[in-house]
């Protein structure tokens, strides 16, 4: 059983949905980042999403752009980011780790070599923000060969034929975007995902996790009412690091968000996919 | 997508999944329009009665030595001041056809922004132009022209504050706005269908130039020379000569302060394969894939990627590429003004500078240079640079 499948099973057994927390690797510097990574787990995150910084993150809003810029300014290279992942894995054997980055970071090492390096560092999945299903076949093959999952993004405007492609190319979970636009929590998520979730279920896609714009326990609860298997929060957490909050404060914030996945009315909603 | 959007091993459509339907809609509208007589007739009328096509082919009277004849394709005389207007009018018609009410664009030197602003005014489309904050500072005149025509210019302060960063911001806008907004990308870069579509809309440059040179000289040119930033004016003039094996196609990149350093924009000469702004292409980057900051005296050539078709033409040996430094481009700028009474854009002066070097031999040859834009936008910068120039010369 993969770490994702085990995690979804654990959540389902305790009538909770999954909570994913995102950080940029190396933000604000590698040493401090390692403490923040532990804080995500301490706060109760079920799965961890980690960005490898890229100079031109076109799918990201200002908060995550700034996090990447801080990490790069601190001299963080891809090798440093992977070392942080390996280090985290040595302390947390069971937490699923997803890597989020951009195609050029993967291309620089070669798709196959990059996936092998992720697997060796202990990561469970790879999501490449600017690789849509049209271009995803070589990434899917390389991920499978390395024993990790390629995670794909699905949006409310993604046609059913593409959802079927997502089902065949991807694994782990399906990253459903909660609204149009780039990452960030300034603008409220839209909650009208029923057709998308039905479409994903119809083709047997990996469990849907909703991201983009989730920054409060209320939004977590609202998102889960849509019927997703979990949520991911990124910018709202990263912003706290940017403001200078320490690991304890970040852990407390994650705990607040995680609490939104334990609402009594959610019993039975979480699925093991 | 109906087509694969590849040029050999380059191209493709590397965008967030949410933008794929918008690209599919655009591809479909473009392919339909290519065979729609009403669309083609409206575009032809706009190009002739609004933009001023055909543009002349001018034989230099004084530049070019011995038996070398230099011809200039005068895109500098096109309405808007550069070749950009050709394809902007076509894309604006497509935007209207798709029912979009808003245009967004990136701009470097400001020429594409100006062209988009004029199309926005003409068709009543709300227009937002993203421009690197440093480019806003060095191209004030074009910023004012855009605003005068009703466009909103948004300075981009992220990254290197130039063209690359403006493209990033335009893409971010589009991922939120695609339902009512057309991203009017300004060059043959970006995801499919932009490289193909912009080439087809710029093909008119080479089509006219081919007919004009045959009428004037009774034969084809030996070389066609054009500057390459993203590469749209070069692709535009190359395309109708690609099947003429005896015509050499030469693209000129910004060698900036020298190809040996990092302050240049010579992607085809110094780049490695990578993925940026939706396309697999050559890219100036470090070994991790972080995109490099670039430099050129001309904001329009200051771009770390290049249209994927240029990467392919270089790959298969059909086109060759060379670099021209800031210094040589500036010399050509002055030479053209003094010898021919033409003030060209810094970008275009890179192509001319290469032609002037080739002309030194005095060989019996015909050099066709795409004079892609006029130099009005560069006046303030030229004044400053030439003052420093003459100080150095006097010392």
CATH number at residue A67: 3.20.20.70
Q: Are residues B30 and B58 in the same domain?
A: no
A209 domain-assigned = yes
The total number of structural domains that make up chain B = 2
Residue A132: list chain B partners with CB under 8 A.
13-17, 19-20
The predicted pLDDT at position B394 comes to 56
pLDDT-derived band of residue A193, with 50, 70 and 90 as boundaries? Answer: confident
Q: In whole angstroms, what is the distance from residue A67 CA to residue A177 CA?
A: 20
The predicted pLDDT at position B138 comes to 80
B2 domain-assigned = no
Q: In whole angstroms, what is the distance from residue B221 CA to residue B64 CA?
A: 14
Q: Are residues B31 and B62 in the same domain?
A: no
SS3 assignment, position B77:
helix
The predicted pLDDT at position A267 comes to 42
Strands B272-276, B248-256: parallel, antiparallel or unpaired by DSSP? unpaired
Query: Which residues of A, range 43-62, sit inside 8 Å of B by Cβ?
Result: 54-61
pLDDT tens, position by position, B116-134: 999 999 999 999 999 999 8
In residues, how long is chain B?
395
Residue B181's contacts (CB-CB under 8 Å, 6 or more residues apart) are B100, B101, B102, B103, B104, B173, B174
Q: In whole angstroms, what is the distance from residue B280 CA to residue B267 CA?
A: 13
Q: Are residues B21 and B75 in the same domain?
A: no
User: Is B285 within 8 Å of A104 when comparing Cβ atoms?
Assistant: yes
User: A73 in contact with B at a CB cutoff of 8 Å?
Assistant: no
Nearest CA-CA distance, residue A128 and chain B, Å: 9
Q: In whole angstroms, what is the distance from residue A262 CA to residue A33 CA?
A: 28
User: Is B17 within 8 Å of A162 when comparing Cβ atoms?
Assistant: yes
Q: Are residues B31 and B160 in the same domain?
A: yes
pLDDT at residue A201 tops 50: yes
Q: Which of B194, B219, B238 is the last residue of a domain?
A: B194
B141 domain-assigned = yes
Strands B6-7, A18-24: parallel, antiparallel or unpaired by DSSP? unpaired
- Residue A143 CA, distance from chain mean position: 16
A69 domain-assigned = yes
pLDDT tens, position by position, B86-102: 999 999 999 999 999 99
Q: Are residues B210 and B346 in the same domain?
A: yes
B261 burial type by CB count under 10 A (0-12 exposed, 13-18 middle, 19+ buried): exposed
A55 domain-assigned = yes
pLDDT tens, position by position, B41-58: 999 999 999 999 999 999
The predicted pLDDT at position A77 comes to 98
B7 domain-assigned = no
* Interface size between A and B, measured as CB pairs under 8 A: 105
Q: Angle at CA B205, nearest 5°, toward B202 and B207?
A: 105
The predicted pLDDT at position A117 comes to 98
User: Is B289 within 8 Å of A108 when comparing Cβ atoms?
Assistant: yes
Mean pLDDT of B16-22: 96
**Can you give the residue range of the structural domain that contains A44?**
3-259
Q: Residue B295: name the closest of B269, B264, B268, B323 by CA.
A: B264
A272 domain-assigned = no
User: Is B175 within 8 Å of A181 when comparing Cβ atoms?
Assistant: yes
Residue A60: list chain B partners with CB under 8 A.
172
- Mean per-residue pLDDT of chain A: 93
Mean pLDDT of A260-273: 57
User: B158 in contact with A at a CB cutoff of 8 Å?
Assistant: yes
The predicted pLDDT at position A180 comes to 82
User: A140 in contact with B at a CB cutoff of 8 Å?
Assistant: no
Mean pLDDT of A164-191: 87
The predicted pLDDT at position A41 comes to 98
User: B39 in contact with A at a CB cutoff of 8 Å?
Assistant: no
Q: Are residues B252 and B237 in the same domain?
A: yes
For residues A52-65, one letter each, b for 16 or more C-beta atoms within 10 angstroms of the residue's C-beta and e for the rest, the string is bbbbbbbbbbebbb
Helix (H) or strand (E) holding B280: strand B279-283
The predicted pLDDT at position B137 comes to 87
The predicted pLDDT at position A264 comes to 57
pLDDT-derived band of residue B316, with 50, 70 and 90 as boundaries? Answer: very high
SS3 assignment, position B71:
strand
pLDDT at residue A72 tops 60: yes
User: B4 in contact with A at a CB cutoff of 8 Å?
Assistant: no
Interface test with A, best of B5, B14, B168 (most A CBs within 10 A): B14
Residue B13: list chain A partners with CB under 8 A.
132, 134-135
pLDDT-derived band of residue B24, with 50, 70 and 90 as boundaries? Answer: very high
Q: In whole angstroms, what is the distance from residue B173 CA to residue B160 CA?
A: 19
Lowest mean pLDDT among A76-85, B101-110, B155-164, B189-198: B155-164
Strands A149-150, A153-154: parallel, antiparallel or unpaired by DSSP? unpaired
User: Is A58 within 8 Å of B274 when comparing Cβ atoms?
Assistant: no
B28 burial type by CB count under 10 A (0-12 exposed, 13-18 middle, 19+ buried): middle
Mean pLDDT of B242-261: 97
Q: Are residues B111 and B233 in the same domain?
A: no
Beta bridge partners of B248: B223
Concatenate the DSSP letters of all residues of A32-101 into one string: HHHHHHHHHHHTT-SEEEEEPP-S--TT--HHHHHHHHHHHHTT--HHHHHHHHHHHHHH-SSS-EEEEE
User: Is B1 within 8 Å of A134 when comparing Cβ atoms?
Assistant: yes
B243 burial type by CB count under 10 A (0-12 exposed, 13-18 middle, 19+ buried): exposed
Mean pLDDT of A185-207: 86
Concatenate the DSSP letters of all residues of B159-178 into one string: TTSSHHHHHHHHHHHHHHHT
Mean pLDDT of B349-363: 97
- Over pLDDT 70: what percentage of chain A? 95
3-state helix, strand, coil in chain A (%, to 5): 50, 15, 35
Give me the residue from A69, A109, A130 closest to B14, CB to CB.
Answer: A130
Query: Which residues of A, range 165-224, sit inside 8 Å of B by Cβ?
Result: 177, 180-182
Q: Are residues B175 and B151 in the same domain?
A: yes
Query: Which residues of B, range 265-294, sit inside 8 Å of A by Cβ?
Result: 273-278, 280, 283, 285, 287-291
Q: Which of B194, B218, B250 is the last residue of a domain?
A: B194
The total number of structural domains that make up chain A = 1
Q: Are residues B257 and B355 in the same domain?
A: yes
Residue B291: list chain A partners with CB under 8 A.
55-56, 104
User: Is B274 within 8 Å of A104 when comparing Cβ atoms?
Assistant: yes
Q: Are residues B258 and B134 in the same domain?
A: no
**Can you give the residue range of the structural domain that contains B236?**
52-81+203-393
Q: Which of B194, B222, B239 is the last residue of a domain?
A: B194
The predicted pLDDT at position B372 comes to 98
User: Is B16 within 8 Å of A58 when comparing Cβ atoms?
Assistant: yes
- Mean per-residue pLDDT of chain B: 96
The residues of B annotated as belonging to the active site are 60, 83
The predicted pLDDT at position A91 comes to 98
Give me the residue from B16, B287, B291 closest to A55, CB to CB.
Answer: B291
pLDDT at residue B392 tops 70: no
Mean pLDDT of A115-143: 98
The predicted pLDDT at position B256 comes to 96
B36-44 own/partner pairs: CB under 8 Å, 24+ apart: B39/B93, B39/B97, B42/B93, B43/B89, B43/B90, B43/B93
Q: What is the DSSP letter of A264?
A: G
pLDDT at residue B260 tops 70: yes
pLDDT tens, position by position, B202-239: 999 999 999 999 999 999 999 999 999 999 999 999 99
pLDDT-derived band of residue B265, with 50, 70 and 90 as boundaries? Answer: very high
pLDDT-derived band of residue A270, with 50, 70 and 90 as boundaries? Answer: very low
Helix (H) or strand (E) holding B155: strand B152-156
A237, A23 in Cβ contact below 8 A?
yes
The residues of A annotated as belonging to the active site are 49, 60
A266 domain-assigned = no
For A63, nearest residue in chain B (alpha carbons): B158
Q: In whole angstroms, what is the distance from residue B299 CA to residue B107 CA?
A: 9
Residue B168: list chain A partners with CB under 8 A.
56-58
Q: Are residues B257 and B353 in the same domain?
A: yes
Concatenate the DSSP letters of all residues of B327-384 into one string: HHHHHHHHHHHHHHS--B-HHHHHHHHHHHHHHTT--SEEEEEEE-BBSGGGHHHHHH
For B6, nearest residue in chain A (alpha carbons): A135
Residue B148 CB neighbour total at 10 angstroms: 11
User: Is A162 within 8 Å of B20 when comparing Cβ atoms?
Assistant: yes
CATH number at residue B315: 3.40.50.1100
For A132, nearest residue in chain B (alpha carbons): B17
Lowest mean pLDDT among B122-131, B138-147, B172-181, B316-325: B138-147
Mean pLDDT of A64-85: 97
Interface test with A, best of B27, B178, B288 (most A CBs within 10 A): B288
Mean pLDDT of A104-112: 98
SS3 assignment, position A128:
strand
The predicted pLDDT at position A104 comes to 98
Q: Are residues B275 and B370 in the same domain?
A: yes
User: B20 in contact with A at a CB cutoff of 8 Å?
Assistant: yes
B8 domain-assigned = no
The predicted pLDDT at position A186 comes to 67
């Amino acid at each position: 059983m993969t770490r994702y499948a085990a995690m979804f099973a654990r959540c389902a057994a305790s009538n909770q949905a999954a909570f994913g927390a995102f950080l940029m690797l190396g933000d604000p510097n590698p040493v401090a980042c390692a403490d923040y990574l532990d804080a995500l787990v301490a706060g109760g995150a079920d799965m961890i999403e980690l960005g490898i910084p890229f100079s031109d993150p076109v799918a990201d809003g200002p908060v995550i752009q700034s996090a990447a810029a801080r990490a790069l300014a601190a001299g963080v290279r891809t090798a440093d980011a992977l070392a942080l992942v390996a280090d985290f894995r040595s302390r947390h054997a069971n937490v699923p780790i997803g890597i989020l980055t951009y195609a050029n970071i993967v291309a620089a090492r070669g798709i196959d070599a990059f996936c092998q390096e992720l697997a060796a560092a202990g990561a469970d999945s790879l999501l490449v923000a600017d690789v849509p299903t049209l271009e995803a076949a070589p990434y899917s093959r390389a991920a499978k060969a390395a024993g990790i999952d390629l995670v794909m993004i699905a949006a409310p405007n993604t046609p059913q034929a593409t959802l079927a492609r997502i089902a065949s190319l991807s694994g782990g979970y399906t990253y459903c975007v909660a609204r149009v636009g780039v990452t960030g929590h300034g603008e409220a998520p839209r909650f009208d995902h029923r057709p998308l979730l039905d479409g994903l279920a119809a083709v047997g896609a990996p469990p849907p996790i909703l991201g983009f714009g989730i920054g409060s326990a209320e939004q977590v609860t609202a998102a889960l009412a849509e019927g997703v298997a979990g949520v991911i929060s990124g910018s709202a957490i990263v912003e706290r690091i940017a403001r200078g909050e320490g690991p304890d404060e970040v852990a407390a914030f994650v705990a607040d968000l995680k609490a939104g996945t334990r609402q009594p009315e959610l019993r039975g909603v979480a699925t093991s996919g | 997508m109906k087509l694969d959007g590849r040029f050999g091993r380059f191209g493709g459509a590397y965008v967030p999944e949410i933008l794929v339907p918008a690209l599919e809609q655009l591809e479909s509208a473009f392919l339909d329009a290519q065979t729609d007589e009403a669309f083609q007739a409206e575009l032809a009328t706009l190009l002739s009665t609004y933009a001023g096509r055909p543009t002349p082919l001018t034989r230099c009277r004084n530049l070019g030595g011995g038996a070398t004849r230099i011809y200039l394709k005068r895109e500098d005389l096109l309405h808007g001041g550069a070749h950009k207007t050709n394809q902007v009018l076509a894309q604006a018609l497509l935007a209207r056809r798709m029912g979009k009410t808003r245009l967004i664009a990136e701009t470097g030197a400001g020429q594409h922004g100006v062209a988009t602003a004029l199309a926005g005014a003409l068709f009543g489309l709300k227009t937002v132009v993203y421009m690197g904050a440093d480019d806003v500072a060095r191209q004030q005149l074009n910023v004012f022209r855009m605003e005068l025509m009703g466009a909103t210019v948004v300075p981009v302060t992220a990254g290197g504050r130039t063209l690359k960063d403006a493209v990033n911001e335009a893409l971010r806008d589009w991922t939120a706005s695609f339902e009512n907004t057309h991203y009017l990308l300004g060059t043959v870069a970006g995801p499919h269908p932009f490289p193909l579509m912009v080439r087809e809309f710029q093909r008119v440059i080479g089509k006219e130039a081919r007919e004009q040179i045959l009428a004037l000289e009774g034969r084809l040119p030996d070389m066609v020379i054009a500057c390459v930033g993203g590469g749209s004016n070069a692709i535009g003039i190359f395309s109708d000569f690609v099947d003429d094996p005896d015509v050499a196609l030469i693209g000129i990149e910004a060698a900036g302060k020298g190809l040996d350093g990092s302050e240049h924009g010579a992607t085809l000469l110094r780049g490695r394969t990578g993925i940026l702004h939706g396309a697999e292409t050559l890219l100036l980057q470090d070994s991790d894939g972080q995109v490099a900051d670039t430099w050129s005296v001309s904001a329009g050539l200051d771009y770390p990627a290049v249209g994927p078709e240029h990467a392919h033409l270089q790959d298969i040996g059909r086109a060759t590429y060379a670099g021209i430094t800031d210094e040589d481009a500036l010399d050509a700028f002055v030479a053209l003004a003094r010898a021919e009474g033409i003030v060209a854009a810094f970008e275009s002066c890179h192509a001319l500078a290469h032609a002037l070097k080739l002309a030194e031999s005095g060989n019996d040859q015909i050099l066709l240079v795409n004079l892609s834009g006029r130099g009005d936008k560069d006046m303030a910068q030229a004044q400053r640079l030439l003052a420093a120039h003459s100080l150095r010369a006097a010392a």
